[in-house]
Amino acid sequence: MIYLDNASTSWPKPDSVVNAVSDYIRNIGASPARGNCTAALDALGVVLDCREVVASFFGSTNPLNVIFSHNVTWAINTVLHGMLRSGDKVVSSTMEHNAVTRPLTALSEKGVEVVYSPCDEHGHLDLDAFEKNITGAKLAVLNHGSNVTGTVQDVEAISKICRSSGTVFLLDVAQSAGIVPVSFYQGPDIIAFTGHKGLLGVPGTGGMVFADGFQADRIHSLAQGGTGSLSEEARQPDFLPDRFEAGTMNGPGLAGLHAGIEYLNSIGLTEIYARKMKIAGMLARGIEEISGARVYRPSSDKLWTAVVSFTLPDSCTAAISDYLSREHNICCRYGFHCAASAHRTIGTFPEGTVRLSPGLFTTVSDIETTLEAVRMYRV
C-alpha cells in the first residue's frame, strides 16, 4: 500500500512510538496517579514527561498548562462551549474544519453571535476584514493549517489583531503541528493540538495548552470526575490541569505521543519541512502537468502543510479515489474532508477534491507510482 492520507492520521509510526506504547502496556499497565504502587507512579511519570515535552514543543514554560483530552475536537469544544454564552460574539474563518463549525453552529442556536471572516481562493484569511469583524468579539478560533489546501495562516498578524481588541485567540494546530513551526511566541492564547497526525502519536490523544498568564478559569469544564487529586471533595478541582482532566488518562497513548515528539525533535522541524516540501512539491507539480488538472494549494512562496488536493476535468472525485485504491492500492481521501466551508471558499463545492497527503516516510518512488496512476486514469 502507498499511504497518502497523513492529513487524516500519520502512518507508519516510528518504531520508537510503537515500542513506547507496547512498553507501557506490557511493563507498566497501571493508571496514572491511581494507587501507590510502583507501576502507578511509573504511569504518572509517563504523563508528566509527556506534559513537559508538549509544553516545550509549543514554547510554554509551564507543563501544568498542558491539558490532555481525547483529541483536538474535544479540546476545541471545551473552549467554545466552556467559554461562550448567549450574547457573546465569536469570530472564525471560512476555512474551518467541522471540529469548529459544528460546535459554533450549536452555539449560534443558543444565542451566540458567530461571524465567519472571509478567506481568498487559496484559503488565506483577509486580515483587513478580520480586523473589522473582531470588534466586540470574546473569542477568535482559527485553524493554523487547512486540511483541504494546506494553507498556513499568519499567526503573528492574527494574534496582534486579537490582542489589540482584547479578544482571546484559540489556534487549532491539528494540521500544522509537527510540520510547520508554531508556538506561543507567535501570540495565541490557547493552542489546541492532536497527537496522531504530524506529531506521529496514536489516535485518542490530543489536548490544549494555555499561554503563560492566561486565566483558565474563564473556561468552564465540560466534564467532572476522578482526577486522583482531592478525592475527598465532591467538586472538581479548580487548579490545572485537573480542572479539565476528568477520568483515567490514556497512558499508552501519551507514552506514544512523547516518543513521537522526541522523534521529531531528533530530526528538527526545518529538516522535516524540507523533506515534506520536496515530496509534496514533486507530487503537486506532476499533477499540475496533467491537462485540465487543478491542484488547490497556496503559492510556492507561502508556507504549506504538504496537502495536495486536486480535481480532474469531467471526473468524479469518488471515482478517482476508488480507482487509485482499487487499481493501485493508494490510500487517499475524497470529498469534503469534514470541511465543506473550505470547499465553498476555494470553489470546489459540491464536488470536493481528491486529497493526497504525503508523510514523513513517503518516498520518491511512492510519488512516481502515484503520478503514473493519476496519468493512467486520464487515458
Question: Cell numbers of 234, please?
Answer: 465532591
Question: Measuring CA to CA, which residue among 283, 275, 300 is closest to residue 354?
Answer: 283
Q: What is the mean pLDDT of the chain?
A: 96
Contact 123/173 with Cβ under 8 angstroms?
Answer: no
Secondary structure letter of residue 245 according to DSSP: -
| Domain coordinates in residue numbering, the chain | 2-11+268-377, 15-266
3 state DSSP class of 117: strand
Q: What percent of the chain has pLDDT over 70?
A: 99
pLDDT in tens, 15-63: 999 999 999 999 998 888 788 888 888 989 999 999 999 999 999 999 9
Q: Which top CATH class is 2-11+268-377?
A: alpha beta
Question: 140-198 pLDDT, tens per residue?
Answer: 999 999 999 999 999 999 999 999 999 999 999 999 999 999 999 999 999 999 999 99
**322: its cell numbers:** 476508488
pLDDT score, position 270: 97
Residue 300 pLDDT exceeds 90:
no
Contact assessment for residue 287 and residue 310, using Cβ atoms and an 8 Å cutoff = yes
Domain made up of 15-266: CATH architecture: 3-Layer(aba) Sandwich (3.40)
pLDDT digits (tens, 9 = 90+) for 326-339: 999 999 999 999 99
* DSSP labels, 126-165: -HHHHHHHTTT-SEEEEESB-TTT-BB--HHHHHHHHHHH
The answer to whether residue 378 scores a pLDDT higher than 80 is no
Instruction: Determine what percent of the chain is predicted with pLDDT higher than 90.
Output: 93
Q: Please determine whether the domains at 2-11+268-377 and 15-266 fall in the same fold group of CATH.
A: no
Question: Strand 2-3 relative to strand 333-335: parallel, antiparallel, unpaired?
Answer: unpaired
Q: Please enumerate in sequence order all residues whose Cβ is within 8 A of that of 230, keeping only pairs 6 or more positions apart, or say none.
A: 237, 242
> What's residue 178's pLDDT?
98
| Number of Cβ atoms within 10 Å of the Cβ of 377 | 15
Query: Residue 203 in contact with residue 9, Cβ under 8 Å?
Result: yes
DSSP β-bridge partners for residue 171: 142, 191
